Structure 1
């Protein structure tokens, strides 16, 4: 116990110093991969090392190569930070070291997953009897939901995927908006369904319901899945769910919604209108690490019909102690996994209903402030309708936009990455971190002005 406690105390000290540095440190990493490899020493020692020394070496060698993702001035990807209660809960997850697959194995985890799942359905306005599975992230949440959908639409034709696989069975059509996220394509590839048929979207990435209706009719009757999205990765736009789902229902399609970060709009009275009609779908995927700000490794797969996801994901083993009510193992792909529900429960319990709404609204307010500030910079244009947490801007030409992005990263005040949207090079700002303040936004806008002036 002495060695373990000493190592934990050493890790705690390094963690606290790291977190305390975030308000002042530059966001990009200061060291290269090669420099960190040298600091760690690539040669494995012949004998053991004291745990406290191992922790100290890891922390000191890696610190210069850490990107300040938890900083309030990181806007490069939709990754969020870690809310304090969720961070502390995650430390307990590692210490408790629970096997979280069965109710009998860890009643504590099963209970927390049950409570957190019910809270999530309530926060997000989704059907209360839906199954909620905790996955590695949004990609595997999409995979889980689409697996349930694939098996369900094939089952309607009399084909049993679990028994017979896909070979020789009816083909499954999958339709998605042309601006869907690449994680959807990846999940479909894993499921053996290939690329989706693309449906026209408007200038903000919202699927055209009439184009969807025509595409469904043109393909004729077939097992069909329609994928919609809550929150375009560039514009933040939401598909028109009510109209699109009506069109899908006419074709007896399974409707899945990829809401990696945008599904959380439902938790705010000010932004819930963006998700109107969303609850009429069959499945929903989101990522608690994004807008909710829990640690990494926490996607959420929600399926309206618990039997559908259980048929796709569940398994039986003679050595498993399984419960007739169902187990966590029945709702996600992995057998071994972390106790992800502990951190989600902690975040929701700490924030409460009003706190989650305030978090969503604060992120959106910061995004609007970015849009207003950038629009006032000479030569800069905000290209999207800023309806949620995403801002896309350009600076007169692709070449100048790239120079602004390069200068901004060299400055180090903030991390904002570039992208290509609608054929143009853009600065893409994703406001996702609970700790971002008005001062962080002001400092970042000053850095963007400096970068623009010199480009």
Structure 2
């Protein structure tokens, strides 16, 4: 036991040292992938190694390839940082090694999921009777929500897809927005509905799904409409109330991909962006983005627990169920899995309702501030209405200049941001999702972009 205590104490010191690194520590460094593999690899040892030496070597040798996404100066992909309480709770989750697949495996893990379910539904303004599954992320959540929708719309026309599959089933029309996220396409592939068979509803200049012509595109048979809360480039949200009303009038199921944008509902200053969100049938979102819990963490939410359970549940003679307990395997594609609710519970408990709302609002304010600082630069053009935590900025009149600026910023490593291509135009994509980001970090980032603009002129 003394050896374990020494090991865990030293591990905590190494973790604290990483978090306490100076603010000007590079966000990322150029690294040779082959060299990194070489230093971490080599022949598999013939015998055991001292655990403390293993952890020490990992901390030392992994460092060059780590990207500091949780230190306030990462503005690339939509990646949240890690709240202190969530980090500590996640350590405990690993220590306890609980499996929330069935309540009998861990009554505590089941209870935490039940508590978090209620808190999440309240926080996001979703129906209190809805079911919640704790997934790896929005990809798995999209698969699950769409599976529930597929099963329900086919059930309404007399087809049991869970028992009989898709062979011979009535076709399901899937309507997607012109600027849906790529995870929707992969979810449809995995569910056998095909990525190329979708019906595409046009989007406006900000990437929001339009409503004109939607009813005709849905048709009269089984149908699913995939809406989006939070365009991955512009942050724009589809007009949820109008889309849902049209879809429901046609008998369609509405699934919302809200990987990060669904959290706008937690901010009083931003929830109007997702007005009507609670009218949909299923939702997907991430915890490891705006809730700032460690990877991996996502949520699928379904207004019809019956449809949700039919799509996901499994049973076997040896799998015992506990009366009154929550069996997590009924709500996700996984059976055995990590007890993600420990970190989620800690994040929600430590922030509270107002804390989550403030986190969302602060990120949005900092994004707008970042853009305002860059807009002072004559070479910069802002390409979107900054309504959430996403911004697109173009440098000069051609793609090459923008790409050069991004490459220079990444080379220096002071901050990190990337590029995107939207409607044929390359831009810098700015995302603010980390609780640790301050106005000072944004000012440093804007200055670094302006420096890169100057040196690439």
Please classify the TM superposition score into its range, dividing by the shorter chain length: over 0.9
- 1:369 paired residue number: 369
How far apart are the structure 2 equivalents of 1:99 and 1:41?
30
1:262: which partner in 2?
A: 261
2:444 aligned with 1:443: yes
Partners of 2:202 and 2:150 lie apart in 1 by: 23
SS of structure 1 residue aligned to 2:231: coil
Structure 1 contact 177–198 (Cα < 8 Å) conserved? yes
Aligned-residue CA RMSD (Å): 1.1
After TM superposition, give the deviation of residue 293 of structure 1 in Å. 0.3
SS of the aligned residue for 2:285 comes to strand
Name the counterpart of 1:141: 141
User: What is the count of residue pairs matched by the alignment?
Assistant: 452
In structure 2, the residue matched to 1:432 is 433
Which residue in 2 is equivalent to 1:211?
A: 213
Give the drift of 1:40. 2.2
Structure 1 residues 62-81: aligned runs within 5 Å: 62-81=62-81
Structure 2 residue 284 is the aligned partner of structure 1 residue 282: no
Q: Does 1:453 align with 2:454?
A: yes
Report matched runs for 1:34-433 at 5 Å: 34-195=34-195, 196-216=198-218, 220-323=219-322, 325=324, 326-396=326-396, 397-433=398-434
Deviation of 1:324 after TM superposition, in Å, equals: 5.1
Distance in 1 between residues matched to 2:113 and 2:31, nearest whole Å: 40
CA distance, structure 2, for counterparts of residue 204 and residue 165 of structure 1 = 38
Offset, 1:441: 0.3
List alignment gaps of at least 5 residues for structure 1: none
Moved more, 190-199 or 173-182: 190-199
Q: C-alpha separation between the residues in 2 aligned to 1:379 and 1:442? A: 18
TM-score normalized by structure 2?
Answer: 0.97
User: How far did 1:380 drift?
Assistant: 0.4
Task: Provide structure 2 residue ranges, at least 5 long, that are not aligned to the other structure.
Answer: none
1:3 Cα deviation after fit = 3.2
C-alpha offsets along residues 193-219 of structure 1, whole Å, 9 cap, x if unaligned? 112221100011000111322322xxx
**TM-score, scaled to structure 1:** 0.97
2-structure distance, mates of 1:187, 1:389: 25
How far does the alpha carbon of each residue in 1:394-414 deviate from its partner, in whole angstroms, 9 at most, with x for none? 012211111111111112111
Q: Structure 2 CA distance, aligned partners of 1:427 and 1:128?
A: 39
Q: For 1:16 and 1:378, how far apart are their aligned partners in 2?
A: 42
TM-aligned CA deviation for residue 65 of structure 1: 1.1
Distance in 2, Cα, partners of 1:190 & 1:447? 42
Report the secondary structure of 2:179's partner residue. coil
Describe the SS at the equivalent of 2:180. coil
My pick for the range that moved more, 284-293 or 405-414, is 405-414
Taking a change above 3 Å as real, the CA distance of residues 71 and 211 of structure 1, as seen in their structure-2 partners, is farther
| Corresponding residue for residue 32 of structure 1 | 32
Secondary structure, counterpart of 2:254 in structure 1: strand
8 Å Cα contact 1:123/1:266 also seen in 2: yes
Q: 1:417-438 CA deviation, whole Å, 9 max, x = no partner?
A: 0110121011000110010011
Aligned partners of 1:212 and 1:65: how far apart in 2? 47
The separation in 2 between residues aligned to 1:66 and 1:136, in whole angstroms, is 21
Q: Is the 8 A contact 1:26 1:413 kept in 2?
A: yes
